[in-house]
Structure 1
Amino acid sequence: MPNSSAQKEHVNNEFYTQKRWNNWINKVKESGFEFKESDEETEKESAIFVYMQDDVILACLKVIAQYERNILSKEDTLDIISQIREIVLEEIDSISEDIDLMIESLQTSLMAAIAACEVYIMDEYDKEAKIDELIKAAVDAEDSEDLQVAMQFIAETGARVIGGEQLPENIFDELPYGLVAEWLDGIDSIAAAMVGADSYKEDDGSGDFEPI
């Protein structure tokens, strides 16, 4: 059955535009990012990708806040989140080997964060399951190469975080490196955004934008 949002014009999206994403890509190009010999140097140089990810997630949270205040309908909220998905997960022309790897990782994390937003809006998740058990189930599913199921568990984890729950402390300490870890990075960014200033809840997304 065709998606109903595809049968009508997209609702106006001022929360996150193509121009905004392009501004970040230009900033990344200008940064000339390269992996350094030390992790500390690399982390410092890679801050722009953190800002980039946080900016997308904050935009998504602003959309959800509008939905929760009954300013946006569920259909329009999902439509805007879908538009943001299309913008930030589009394939990027190669810039450099190191930057390409960072953008790929960034998009992998954002994929999970956006999926979590969609699951939260649709209210299609178990509110009783323990978050650490959801994450373990995601890891097990990844081990079994059932990535669709693994993503569902991580999206449900993210929906729970958007709903106000906390990720377990030191969640990454024993987490094997892989897709689940990268997806969970996007959920962790949601958690970090939600414990900061909550002025985004009153923001309609129409303000001017200038990348950091």
Structure 2
Amino acid sequence: MSDTHEKIDHEFYTTERWSNWLGQVKESGFEFKEEEDNSGKEGAIFVTMEDDIILACLKVIAKYENKTLPLDDAIAIIKDIRDITLEEVETVSEDIDMMLESVQTALAGSFAACECYIAGDFDKESSIEDLIAVAIEYEEAEDIDSAITCIAQVGALILDGKSLPEAAMEDLPYGLVAEWLDGIDSVEAAMIGADGYKQDDGEDDGS
């Protein structure tokens, strides 16, 4: 699978925007704390950062669905956002590095879902529970490409209007599938929230 794709001009998400978030993360001084006094508040920056990226992707999908973006451009923009945000980040601290890696892993699931949905590479009749179970089997067999393909289809079904089944999410073994599904869960949460992204072009409204 080649990662080369045409770069197109867009304002949905920029390198500058990602750099700004990384700056805020560094300034947060986040640390894991045993007593949970501050880590929740400081940790919120990672949730907000991830949500901002997912909203940018949902705006791309909305433009594609409104027929104001052709399929190839929509996929190219999603790939560009992926390239910006999944690039290796300069080390900050052990705790911040761990959180950023977790965000990036979750986002890998979100991006795969968006591409799968736009391209229509999924069966609307598929069972989400079955896809998750098969993804776990693939991960255990170390077939990571097949595992994320299954999770991409789960995410595409969510983008198509289905819901993540709570039971299937509760007993997940810790690993890549669980982290990718965190990204899909964030996509679902963003869709359930305000739908202003469907009319918006991608200007940041501040955070």
Query: Normalising by structure 1, what TM-score?
Result: 0.92
Residues 20 and 209 in structure 1, CA contact (< 8 A), matched pair in contact too: no
SS at match of 1:34: coil
Tell me which moved more, 40-49 or 101-110. 40-49
- Summarize the alignment of residues 61-76 of structure 1 with structure 2, pairs less than 5 Å apart: 61-76=58-73
Equivalence for 2:137: 140
> Aligned pair 1:159/2:159, yes or no?
no
Residues 138 and 147 in structure 2, CA contact (< 8 A), matched pair in contact too: yes
- Percent identity of equivalent pairs: 54
Whole-angstrom CA distance in 1 between matches of 2:154 and 2:133: 11
Equivalence for 1:169: 166
Return closer, same or farther for 1:153/1:208 CA change in 2, 3 Å cut-off.
closer
Whole-angstrom CA distance in 2 between matches of 1:81 and 1:27: 23
Deviation of residue 132 (structure 1)? 0.9
- 1:19 paired residue among 12, 16, 20: 16
> Aligned pair 1:90/2:90, yes or no?
no
Return closer, same or farther for 1:39/1:168 CA change in 2, 3 Å cut-off.
farther
**Structure 2: 5+ residue stretches without partners:** none
Residues 5 and 75 in structure 1, CA contact (< 8 A), matched pair in contact too: no
Letter in 2 for 1:166: S
Deviation of residue 169 (structure 1)? 1.9
Letter in 2 for 1:149: S
SS at match of 2:170: coil
Deviation of residue 2 (structure 1)? 7.7
Equivalence for 1:47: 44
Whole-angstrom CA distance in 1 between matches of 2:60 and 2:174: 31
Return closer, same or farther for 1:178/1:39 CA change in 2, 3 Å cut-off.
farther
Equivalence for 1:34: 31
- Summarize the alignment of residues 108-127 of structure 1 with structure 2, pairs less than 5 Å apart: 108-127=105-124
Deviation of residue 3 (structure 1)? 7.9
Query: Normalising by structure 2, what TM-score?
Result: 0.94
Let me know the Cα RMSD of the aligned residues.
Answer: 1.8
Residues 110 and 183 in structure 1, CA contact (< 8 A), matched pair in contact too: yes
- 2:180 paired residue among 180, 183, 186: 183
Number of aligned pairs? 207
Residues 132 and 168 in structure 2, CA contact (< 8 A), matched pair in contact too: no
Whole-angstrom CA distance in 1 between matches of 2:189 and 2:107: 14
Whole-angstrom CA distance in 2 between matches of 1:79 and 1:152: 18
Whole-angstrom CA distance in 2 between matches of 1:104 and 1:28: 13
Deviation of residue 197 (structure 1)? 1.2
Whole-angstrom CA distance in 1 between matches of 2:91 and 2:3: 32
Deviations 1:118-164 (A, max 9, x none): 00111011211110111111111111111111100001000000111
Deviation of residue 39 (structure 1)? 5.1
**Structure 1: 5+ residue stretches without partners:** none
Deviation of residue 13 (structure 1)? 1.4
